[in-house]
Amino acid sequence: MKDFNLASTIRQLDLTLTTTSGEISVQVDVPTAFIPITDIVPILRSMGEQTQAVETASTVQAGKEITCMKGCSACCERIMVPVSPPEAFALAEMMQSLPIAHRRRIEERLAHTRQHLEKVGLLSALEDMAESPTQWSDEKVDPLNRAYYALRQPCIFLEDGACSIYEHRPAACREYLVTSPAELCEDTEKNSVAVLPIPLRAGTALSILWADLMGGPVRLIPLPEVFEWAERHRSLLEQKWHGLELFDKALEGLDKFLNQALQGTSKND
């Protein structure tokens, strides 16, 4: 990506990605100026959504149905949402742009959630996960996910059964679609839920990018801890990178993720 004409503000790129769903073509607009890490978030989310659309179309063509729909908020009322560091900063910026009344409702729900998590002894574990100097393994995260799920703690952004920040929701929320009957989602601990395979996980790619840039572990921050984490690390938002070089770095991390996924698929064949 060193031969691009940097005279324009945006560079439109056409890419072909080799994923577990085969080769998928995506198109993205990448800034050519120096940008903060938050500017790469919508780009990777767009790539994730484009690859997801291909998988969704293939699934529907095979006779299955995506059963997620507006008003079905079972996952939003139970699951601990993992957020990449770049998305944490983006969510913190988004909060400041919301109408005051909306922001205060979210802040009140967040305060209530954190108080409840502290009461049941989970808040410190979430803080440890967010700030750990080493990457947490799936085996370490799983008990925390299960304990959080058992609380049936609604997402702080949930209002009237719908996401109140839908256009800004984390990648993990965008990537969770099911083809099994919606009523099974009421208790995924007891019921087997068929989740749509995701060729590209934007949140994971963003976490890998952040780790490569900062030299730390690949971390995912539990949603109730996002704003505290973003505030503690606010000074890092002052750093900027050349847009095309930052996107190049993101693609390197994305290649790592896609290769791991492909290797995992080949082992299971």
Which amino acid does the sequence have at 54? V
For residues 9-20, average pLDDT = 92
Whether 54 is covered by a domain: the verdict is: yes
pLDDT tens digits, 239-262: 999 999 999 999 998 988 888 877
Counting residues of the chain whose pLDDT is more than 90, the rounded percentage is 71
pLDDT score, position 2: 39
Q: Give the three-class secondary structure for 192.
A: coil
Residue 84 to residue 266: CA distance in whole angstroms: 27
CA gyration radius for the chain? 19
Confidence of residue 6 (pLDDT cuts 50, 70, 90): very low
Supply φ then ψ for residue 153, to 5 degrees.
-90, 110
Whether 198 is covered by a domain: the verdict is: yes
Whether 225 is covered by a domain: the verdict is: yes
DSSP 8-class letter at 178: B
The length of the chain in residues reads 269
Whether 254 is covered by a domain: the verdict is: yes
Whether 1 is covered by a domain: the verdict is: no
pLDDT tens digits, 47-85: 999 999 999 999 989 999 988 887 788 889 899 999 999
CB 32 within 8 A of CB 243: yes
Structural domain tally of the chain?
1
Q: Give the bridge partners for 11, in sequence order.
A: 30
CB 212 within 8 A of CB 249: yes
pLDDT score, position 265: 61
CB 40 within 8 A of CB 251: no
Least confident piece of the model among 33-37, 68-72, 139-143, 171-175:
68-72
Dihedral sign of CA atoms 217, 222, 227, 229 in order: negative
pLDDT tens digits, 157-170: 999 989 999 999 99
| Residue 236, burial from CB neighbour count under 10 angstroms (0-12, 13-18, 19+) | middle
Q: Give the bridge partners for 14, in sequence order.
A: 27
Confidence of residue 266 (pLDDT cuts 50, 70, 90): low
Whether 34 is covered by a domain: the verdict is: yes
Counting residues of the chain whose pLDDT is more than 70, the rounded percentage is 95
Instruction: Determine the structural domain holding residue 102 and report its residue range.
Output: 10-268
Q: Which residue has the higher pLDDT, 13 or 191?
A: 13
Which of 58, 20, 262, 269 shows the shortest CA–CA distance to 179?
58
Mean pLDDT of the chain: 91
Whether 2 is covered by a domain: the verdict is: no
Whether 143 is covered by a domain: the verdict is: yes
